[in-house]
Chain A
Amino acid sequence: MNPLNLLGGLGRAVLALFATFGKVALFSVDAISHIFRPPYYPREFLVALMNIGWLSLPVVGMTAIFTGGALALQIYAGGARFNAEAVVPQIVAIGMVRELGPVLVGLMIAARVTSSIAAEIATMKVTEQIDALVTLSTHPMKYLTAPRVLAALITVPLLVGIGDIIGIAGGYVVATQNLGFNPATYLQNTVNFLETHDILSSLAKGATFGLIAALMGCYYGMNSGRGAQGVGRATKSSVESAAIMILAANFILTGVFFSL
């Protein structure tokens, strides 16, 4: 293969990547700015709150409880190798609140909410519903994007908080029922070990991940191609991008909160 062709292909791919970053950044600024500019659509906002927050609770709860339980088992088994079984409550608490709670909730939201937003908006685009909105003097960014982004920004941190509590509860149940921990001591150790900083970082990560999840769903939905294939591609790309951006943002935020 001609090395110049290879270099050319690589260059085009890098340029396309930067072009996409630019488009996503401009879209995000535009979408967020519409949250603060009237007109507002409270009904659409309430529906989005319900869909993103309330209806995500079961999946978030199930993910958190099983993860907390498994974490307790792993830490107990790993800690036993150097006589440190007693650290289960502290490590479950810190693991859930600092990392697993926000990241797993973020990824579940990317799977459930981002895909749903992208598919819904992309279908609206393909069936000319977005054009219809414009002809009815309604700005699609205000009517479709702003309520969803605001709802995700508010509800995902709450979901992360609830996920943290349920995850810790999952660890508590496994530790007290299977591993012989004293319930009162377990709770005491959990509460004493966690700091306000841990909880705030968890909620801040939740807000960031919620923003990413909603923005990616809206961006790919609004920029969907034609037909069923276009909707499918938009949905797939939205989830992939949201998941990768959530993991990257998690790494950066962890550095900001805990390394400085």
Chain B
Amino acid sequence: MIRMENVHKTFGDNQVLKGMSLEIPKGTSMVIIGGSGTGKSVALKCVLGLIKHDSGMIYVDGKDATKGDRDAFLARFGMLFQGAALFDSLPVWQNVAFRLLRGPLKRPREYAREIAIEKLRRVGLKSDVADRFPSELSGGMQKRVGLARAIAAEPEIIFFDEPTTGLDPIMSGVINDLIREIVTEMGATAMTITHDMSSVRAIADNVAMLHGGVIQWTGPVSQMDASGDPYVEQFISGSAEGPIEAVR
């Protein structure tokens, strides 16, 4: 389980998180929605320790996320970045098997390659993609490779940062379905941030609306449409009228 308690984060004069609290039960899929610049990515990066929060507490399975063995902590996570963040200098299979080629999870090269190809198949890519470089792939294929990398070491917790941004609706649907399938199949705890309402409906067990640096509403996805929260309602409808200012 992931628990954020009263987390604050400020960049210069810009206070992004103003006491964000959120709980993600083990084995569930939480989707955080909210406008651009509301701190969704910052919240996710605070959990991973990529950004240090100013105050508040973050717990993973009851343990303070900022303390203890960092490598062991990160080994429990997989992450799909917004732009896939594949390493340009490495072929696709080495991107996917990155963790299996070095560090504490190191495996023999041939075995790591087999795993990479298996994970590529899992995300719908053929084995001939394995030896290509990321720059030779389309945006949708890069996202799938990023997804394969995120699940390669079979992590307990997976984060997805805007998984469908920049993709056409069909490819977005494919990625959403893959995420849902993989999370269910692996029994992983998932945390996704997105603007895309079709992703929310496809991926989420629970939804949290982040606005003004705090969680405005959280609940099961089935209750989202009838939440009664003006922020959530405006976000779902995409209306310019409401508590969220259209010009920010």
Contact = CB atoms under 8 A, between A and B. Distances in A.
A138 B103 contact: yes
A131 B102 contact: no
A4 B225 CA distance: 61
Contacts of A131: 45, 50, 81, 85
Contacts of B77: 135
B83 interface: yes
B98 interface: yes
Contacts of B75: 137
Interface in A120-141: 124, 127-129, 131-132, 134-138
Contacts of A47: 89
Interface string A58-73: 0000000000000000
A183 interface: no
Nearest to B77: A135
B120 interface: no
A137 B76 CA distance: 10
A129 B87 contact: yes
Interface in B144-166: 149
Size class of the B contact interface (CB-based, 8 Å): 20 to 34
Size class of the A contact interface (CB-based, 8 Å): 10 to 19
Contacts of A138: 98, 102-103
A41 B89 CA distance: 15
Contacts of B87: 124, 129, 132
A39 interface: yes
B99 interface: yes
A136 B98 contact: yes
B83 A127 contact: yes
Contacts of B86: 129, 132
A136 B146 CA distance: 12
A61 B149 CA distance: 43
Nearest to B159: A135
B104 A135 contact: no
Interface in B61-96: 71, 74-75, 77-79, 81-83, 85-89
A39 B79 contact: no
A137 B103 contact: yes
Interface string B18-49: 00000000000000000000000000010011
Interface of A: 39, 41, 47, 124, 127-129, 131-132, 134-138
Given A131-B85, A134-B50, A136-B149, 11 more contacts: A39-B102, A39-B103, A47-B89, A129-B85, A132-B85, A134-B49, A135-B50, A136-B98, A136-B103, A137-B74, A138-B102
* 4 nearest A-B residue pairs (beta carbon): A132-B85, A128-B85, A135-B79, A137-B74
